[in-house]
Chains A and B, each alone.
Chain A
Amino acid sequence: MRYDMQLPWWAWLLMGTALVLFILMVVISVRRNHGVKRSLFASPYTLWMLLFTIVPVILIGYYAFTGTDGTFTLDNFRNFWDSNFDMKKLVGEEYASTIPRGTVNVDTLTYSLWMAFLCTALSLLLGYPAALFMADRNMKLGSSLVVLFIIPMWMNFLLRTIAWMSLLEDNGLINSLLRSIGLEGVQLMYNSGAVLLGMVYNFLPFMVFPIYTSLSKQDINLSEAAADLGCSPMQALMKVTIPLSLPGVISGITMVFMPSVTTFFIPRVLGGGNTMMFGDLIESKFLTEGNWNVGSALSLIMMVLILISLSILRKADPNGEGGGIV
């Protein structure tokens, strides 16, 4: 294979514009009161957002509310509720009542939400003590633990997931080990447990780092003050350290829950054909079935769900102190 290192002319144009813009922004922020309206320089960014974020969302909306013939319809959402909807339309009113409601789409969504909830809860349970340990100034191991958490992130996400296969497979490392000491092999892959494991493994750092940041920002005197006023170490943790790290916790929950609920690929690799999550479902609608309309409707439902959960979380951290993307 020959690798074409040449970029098309428009790519160069784009990069050149970005560079010029960057230099302009730096110059302008250094020398103020230059007479030019500063908001003018934000317009390219606005354009960018419009092109690559707003337009796709509008397109998703358009596809979601139109049929294959391009006319307005809510059928795609009916399809979400009843996956046999198309079939019922096909066989006509007469026989439609004999076909039961297809629940696969709703079930997949429920399953995705449940898995995302479990993944987030598990990450929090595992991540908080880790962050606490890392942020402890008396702990010499803390900083090396930070590095240990970062190193896996240097590897590609797909690779990390596939690596778990070689551990969990029927003839994988763990099962070989079990057999070599005379035990029965265990079915580790192709179930929800393996999917959950893969998700927690991949998303745990996104839980740990926001919490770690908010913990290490905390004034050491605060926990000393708590001890001084009569808190045992456990009480100081519950009454001062944890409440003050809540912004980080909320940020962590957001950063884990969002990718968890939309996750795909992990279920396919570690769950085999036995599990499907909402992300996989959307992917299959677009790429396998080629049904962009239903796929868009499912995406829209997902987006609304995420927006709702974000607005709930935002209430808990109104100042955005966790530095999250809420």
Chain B
Amino acid sequence: MVDNEHLIDLRHICKEYDGVTVLDDINLYIRKREFVTLLGPSGCGKTTTLRIIGGFETPTSGELYFEGKEISSVPPYKRRVNTVFQKYALFPHLNVHDNIAFGLKLKKMPKAEIDKRVDAMLDLVNLRGYGKRKVDALSGGQQQRVAIARSLVNEPEVLLLDEPLGALDLKLRKEMQLELKSMQQRLGITFLYVTHDQEEALTMSDTIVVMRDGHILQIGDPKHIYDEPANAFVADFIGESNILRGTMVHDELVSFAGHEFPCVDFGFGSSVPVDVVIRPEDIMLVGEDVGQITGIIQSVLFKGVHYEMMIDCGDFTFKVHSTTMQPQGSRVGLSIVPFNIHIMKPMELPAEEAKADAV
């Protein structure tokens, strides 16, 4: 599905606003027909990256290549990319049809052809017959579809989407995620998607780019990012995690929470401090006598599919997801298979976050 050819290349992109660095040396390529998601907390620079590709911002330094040509100073209207804005930015003085036809009219396309394409787009986004409606008479989800249709009708090489589902309710958001993904696959258009919702990123993307404070922390496919997070921040941001400070005793043996655990990682050296990440669903609750460590159940929360239990093991309180419930206050054994223990180099944390971790 995804071509190997690079469509967009960002090389050493930096962006400063009034001396504040927003993007610091961003290197990224996007391939044809790829669904790439920029994922990170607010203020991480993901929207700025998108706006640089869209042409609404110029990088302070670095190069932006589109099909091999440097375009960082090309104005937006000359770029073959289209943007779906966070707040839709539909033109309130035009009806649905004219909003979608906006780009085609600029290209001086004959009217019959425009009507044909707009109708096809309305079909695609399930808004057949809505052409004459005023845009502010539509619901949020419908406005979102119009915004997507307005961009897609121009047949862009790349569609940039800036948190397009942020304003929708959960159910609608899930529906739109699937719709967007299938649309992208059917049309074979490259999508660059910005979100802070890790679940959204995991559901839709071919490639996820995790960003933080203007840096890229990790690039990889969803499974890779989830299973092999590059550092504790990525692990914490993608899904829930138990993050502990530990010590690598030697290859394939790590010590944390007052106990030594066999693991599969090697090459860190001996007696080196490391970060240990364990997913809550990877901890097995076993009998008190057979567990690697034991703990007391502090709290039990029903989460629908599973129970979330906080288990106090003395040195550390583990978060555990399990489909079977253990009563609060009971003593249980915890067991973790070596494969599920993720060891990573300790990350340099800003002072305040290091403090928060210690609590």
Query: Which one of B22-30, B82-90, B177-185 is at the interface?
Result: B82-90
Q: How far is the CA of A226 from the CA of B92 in the complex (A)?
A: 12
CB distance from A105 to the nearest CB of B (A): 43
Please tell me if B54 contacts chain A, counting CB pairs below 8 Å: yes
Decide if B106 touches A235 in the complex (CB within 8 Å). yes
Please tell me if B15 contacts chain A, counting CB pairs below 8 Å: no
Docked complex: B65-113 residues within 8 A CB-CB of A: 75-77, 81-83, 85-87, 89-93, 102-103, 106-107
Q: How far is the CA of A243 from the CA of B99 in the complex (A)?
A: 14
CB distance from A223 to the nearest CB of B (A): 9
Complex contacts, A230 vs chain B, CB 8 Å: 77, 103, 106-107, 154
Decide if A228 touches B87 in the complex (CB within 8 Å). no
Complex contacts, B91 vs chain A, CB 8 Å: 222, 225-226, 240, 244
**Closest chain A residue to B147 by CB distance?**
A225
Complex contacts, B107 vs chain A, CB 8 Å: 230
Decide if B106 touches A243 in the complex (CB within 8 Å). no
Complex contacts, A221 vs chain B, CB 8 Å: 85-87, 89
Q: How far is the CA of A239 from the CA of B150 in the complex (A)?
A: 16
Decide if B92 touches A228 in the complex (CB within 8 Å). no
Decide if B77 touches A219 in the complex (CB within 8 Å). no
Complex contacts, B85 vs chain A, CB 8 Å: 221, 224-225
Complex contacts, B222 vs chain A, CB 8 Å: none
Decide if A228 touches B54 in the complex (CB within 8 Å). yes
CB distance from A157 to the nearest CB of B (A): 36
Complex contacts, A228 vs chain B, CB 8 Å: 54-56, 76-77, 81-83, 151
Q: How far is the CA of A233 from the CA of B56 in the complex (A)?
A: 12
Complex contacts, A231 vs chain B, CB 8 Å: 77, 106
Complex contacts, A235 vs chain B, CB 8 Å: 77, 106
Complex contacts, A226 vs chain B, CB 8 Å: 91, 102
| Majority SS at the chain A contact face | helix
Complex contacts, A239 vs chain B, CB 8 Å: 102
Contact with B along A210-240 (1 / 0, CB 8 A): 0000000001011011111111110100011
**Closest chain B residue to A218 by CB distance?**
B92
Q: How far is the CA of A240 from the CA of B81 in the complex (A)?
A: 20
A243-B93, A244-B92, A244-B93 given; A229·B82 CB < 8 A: yes
CB distance from B129 to the nearest CB of A (A): 23
Complex contacts, B151 vs chain A, CB 8 Å: 228-229
Q: How far is the CA of A224 from the CA of B102 in the complex (A)?
A: 13
| Majority SS at the chain B contact face | loop
CB distance from A228 to the nearest CB of B (A): 5
Complex contacts, B75 vs chain A, CB 8 Å: 227, 232-233
Q: Which of B90, B102, B150, B151 has the most CB of A within 10 A?
A: B102
Q: How far is the CA of A226 from the CA of B76 in the complex (A)?
A: 9
Decide if B77 touches A224 in the complex (CB within 8 Å). no
Pick the contact of A227 from B77, B86, B92 — CB < 8 Å?
B77
Complex contacts, A229 vs chain B, CB 8 Å: 77, 82, 102-103, 106, 150-151, 154
A228-B76, A228-B82, A231-B77 given; A219·B106 CB < 8 A: no
**Closest chain B residue to A230 by CB distance?**
B106
Q: Which of A227, A232, A243 has the most CB of B within 10 A?
A: A227
Docked complex: B141-180 residues within 8 A CB-CB of A: 150-151, 154
Q: How far is the CA of A226 from the CA of B94 in the complex (A)?
A: 12
Q: How far is the CA of A226 from the CA of B83 in the complex (A)?
A: 10
Decide if A222 touches B89 in the complex (CB within 8 Å). yes
CB distance from B88 to the nearest CB of A (A): 8
Complex contacts, B106 vs chain A, CB 8 Å: 229-231, 235
Contact with A along B284-313 (1 / 0, CB 8 A): 000000000000000000000000000000
Q: How far is the CA of A225 from the CA of B93 in the complex (A)?
A: 14
Complex contacts, A222 vs chain B, CB 8 Å: 89, 91
CB distance from B150 to the nearest CB of A (A): 7
Complex contacts, B54 vs chain A, CB 8 Å: 228
Q: How far is the CA of A226 from the CA of B82 in the complex (A)?
A: 10
Complex contacts, B77 vs chain A, CB 8 Å: 227-232, 235
Complex contacts, A219 vs chain B, CB 8 Å: 87, 89
**Closest chain B residue to A235 by CB distance?**
B106
**Closest chain B residue to A225 by CB distance?**
B89
CB distance from B48 to the nearest CB of A (A): 14
CB distance from B199 to the nearest CB of A (A): 26
Q: How far is the CA of A221 from the CA of B76 in the complex (A)?
A: 13
Complex contacts, B82 vs chain A, CB 8 Å: 228-229
**Closest chain A residue to B86 by CB distance?**
A221
**Closest chain B residue to A221 by CB distance?**
B89
CB distance from B145 to the nearest CB of A (A): 15
CB distance from A232 to the nearest CB of B (A): 6
Q: How far is the CA of A229 from the CA of B92 in the complex (A)?
A: 16
Docked complex: A261-319 residues within 8 A CB-CB of B: none
Complex contacts, B92 vs chain A, CB 8 Å: 244
Q: Which of A228, A230, A231 has the most CB of B within 10 A?
A: A228
Complex contacts, B76 vs chain A, CB 8 Å: 224, 227-228
Docked complex: A24-66 residues within 8 A CB-CB of B: none
Nearest 4 Cβ contacts at the A-B interface = A221-B89, A229-B103, A225-B89, A227-B76
On B, residues with C-beta under 8 Å from A are 54-56, 75-77, 81-83, 85-87, 89-93, 102-103, 106-107, 150-151, 154
User: Can you pick out 13 interface pairs between chain A and chain B where the beta carbons lie within 8 Å of each other?
Assistant: A222-B91, A224-B83, A225-B85, A225-B90, A226-B91, A227-B77, A228-B54, A228-B81, A230-B106, A230-B107, A232-B75, A232-B77, A244-B91
Q: Given A219-B89, A228-B81, A228-B151, 16 more contacts at CB 8 Å?
A: A221-B89, A224-B56, A224-B85, A225-B83, A226-B91, A227-B76, A228-B76, A229-B77, A229-B103, A229-B154, A230-B107, A231-B77, A233-B75, A235-B77, A235-B106, A244-B92
